[in-house]
């Protein structure tokens, strides 16, 4: 299933025959076939006609709306799943502490494994001496996951591994226009963080749509706690996929000069307010699990950075291309698009929830 993204401002999306047309000042500037279109994603000031909405609903195409900064606003989709039994079984599993911890361990194992594998691929090419000890420490973190006896302990392991990972990731950047030393989110303080945050938001929206289409309750996850407005299950399922899809993509785009310093801009005051409103919501996909460090001390607010119009267009085009890439999927011993693998992992989780599969196995590319 394809994804079609519209980021140009002041355009209108309309239906013509079997296509969606993007028009600006009455002239068609883009188009895509409705057949096989799984997701339509609209950023900022994009107008959508009623005919286009009806066509998407008839086709089963999910429509998602984002602010220009990438904040998820909502979606238009078809009727909710009629599978009440599936949701009841999900509620039962979420209420089982042993099941939740087992599932959370699997998700964290997948995340740290894929983070470490990304670093190891870079290490084979770059041979950075400073990264070698961290890779060993991340391996030991993985070995500790099965023995964790609580969510708090598990989050401590994950937080430590994440702190090692992002420092090492920054050392793999070979473009002298960019530096990256740590993950910052409130707001992103440099271009790499801005690209990562934007990518995580778009990935969360994609997975959230799949979760809802499969009849699961997106608010009830196993790793992320239940909180008002937080799509916890989608946040759970992107954990193992963030290094595979977003982190690897950002690293490649920067090193291949597909993104430059001219693709980013300082956050305006009105966009900063939008960002702060997003961060105030519990559903942010940028939350890294870190142990508590005591009461927060008020600090001056740093300037924020975000992708500009061109940067968003370039990134989203590469993101859509990445979702359509085929890679090997071990459970089915064949090549599938990454977008299909996202759906198959949700389907696998459903089989775990209803007892057809023994336990959740995260996706780790070979």
Which contiguous run of DSSP H or E holds residue 14? strand 11-16
What confidence category does residue 292 fall into, taking pLDDT thresholds of 50, 70 and 90?
A: very low
| 3-class DSSP assignment, residue 86 | helix
Same domain, residue pair 56 and 98: no
Helical pair 151-171 and 97-126, crossing angle rounded to 10 deg = 20
Q: What are phi and psi of 70, to 5 degrees?
A: 100, 5
Q: What are phi and psi of 327, to 5 degrees?
A: -135, 170
- The tally of domains found in the chain comes to 2
Same domain, residue pair 59 and 197: no
| Domain closes at, from 38, 66, 94 | 66
Please state which of the ranges 26-35, 205-214, 285-294, 315-324 shows the lowest mean pLDDT.
285-294
Question: Domain containing 130: what range?
Answer: 85-353
Rounded-to-integer distance, Cα 102 and Cα 124, Å: 33
Check: CB of residue 212 under 8 Å from CB of residue 218: yes
Rounded-to-integer distance, Cα 306 and Cα 198, Å: 8
Residue 210: give its domain's CATH number: 1.20.120.920
pLDDT tens profile 201-252? 999 988 988 898 888 998 999 999 877 678 899 999 999 999 999 999 999 9
What confidence category does residue 286 fall into, taking pLDDT thresholds of 50, 70 and 90?
A: low
Helical pair 84-94 and 97-126, crossing angle rounded to 10 deg = 80
What confidence category does residue 351 fall into, taking pLDDT thresholds of 50, 70 and 90?
A: very high
Q: Which residue has the higher pLDDT, 313 or 1?
A: 313
Report how far Cα 276 is from the mean position of its chain's Cα atoms: 19
Same domain, residue pair 145 and 52: no
Beta strand pairing call for 264-266 and 305-307: antiparallel
pLDDT tens profile 86-126? 899 999 999 999 999 999 999 999 999 999 999 999 999 88
Task: Give the model's pLDDT for residue 293.
Answer: 44
Same domain, residue pair 6 and 129: no
Burial of 362 (0-12, 13-18, 19+ CB in 10 A): buried
Please state which of the ranges 81-90, 174-183, 193-202 shows the lowest mean pLDDT.
81-90
Residue 79 lies in a domain: no
Cα-Cα-Cα-Cα dihedral sign, residues 76, 273, 237, 91: negative
When pLDDT is averaged across residues 40-69 and rounded to a whole number, the result is: 89
Same domain, residue pair 141 and 274: yes
Task: Give the model's pLDDT for residue 228.
Answer: 66
What confidence category does residue 172 fall into, taking pLDDT thresholds of 50, 70 and 90?
A: very high
What confidence category does residue 291 fall into, taking pLDDT thresholds of 50, 70 and 90?
A: very low
What confidence category does residue 326 fall into, taking pLDDT thresholds of 50, 70 and 90?
A: very high
| pLDDT above 60: residue 296 | no
């Amino acid at each position: 299933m394809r994804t079609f993204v519209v980021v140009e401002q002041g355009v209108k999306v309309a239906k013509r025959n079997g296509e969606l047309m993007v028009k600006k000042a009455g002239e068609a500037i883009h188009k895509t076939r409705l057949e096989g279109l799984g997701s339509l994603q609209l950023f900022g000031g994009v107008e959508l006609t009623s005919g286009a909405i009806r066509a998407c609903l008839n086709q089963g195409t999910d429509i998602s709306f984002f602010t220009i900064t990438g904040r998820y606003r909502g979606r238009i989709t078809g009727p909710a799943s009629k599978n009440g039994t599936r949701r009841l079984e999900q509620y039962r599993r979420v209420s089982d502490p042993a099941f939740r911890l087992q599932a959370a361990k699997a998700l964290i194992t997948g995340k740290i494994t894929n983070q470490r594998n990304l670093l190891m691929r870079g290490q084979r090419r770059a041979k950075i001496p400073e990264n070698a000890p961290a890779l060993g420490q991340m391996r030991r973190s993985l070995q500790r996951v099965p023995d964790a006896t609580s969510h708090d302990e598990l989050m401590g392991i994950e937080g430590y591994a994440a702190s090692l990972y992002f420092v090492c990731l920054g050392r793999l950047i070979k473009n002298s226009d960019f530096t990256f030393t740590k993950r910052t989110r409130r707001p992103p303080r440099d271009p790499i963080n801005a690209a990562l945050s934007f990518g995580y938001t778009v990935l969360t929206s994609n997975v959230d749509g799949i979760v809802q289409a499969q009849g699961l309750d997106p608010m009830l996850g196993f790793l992320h706690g239940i909180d008002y407005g937080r799509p916890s299950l989608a946040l759970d399922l992107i954990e193992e996929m963030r290094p595979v899809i977003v982190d690897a993509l950002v690293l490649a785009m920067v090193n291949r000069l597909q993104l430059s310093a001219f693709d980013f801009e300082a956050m305006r005051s009105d966009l900063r307010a939008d960002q702060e409103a997003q961060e105030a919501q519990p559903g942010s996909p940028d939350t890294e699990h870190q142990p508590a460090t005591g009461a927060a001390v008020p600090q001056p607010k740093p300037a924020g950075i975000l992708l500009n119009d061109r940067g968003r267009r370039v990134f989203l085009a590469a993101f859509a291309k990445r979702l359509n890439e085929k890679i090997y999927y071990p459970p089915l011993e064949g090549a599938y698009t990454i977008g299909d693998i996202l759906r198959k992992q949700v389907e696998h989780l459903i089989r775990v929830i209803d007892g057809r599969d023994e336990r959740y196995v995260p996706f780790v590319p070979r």
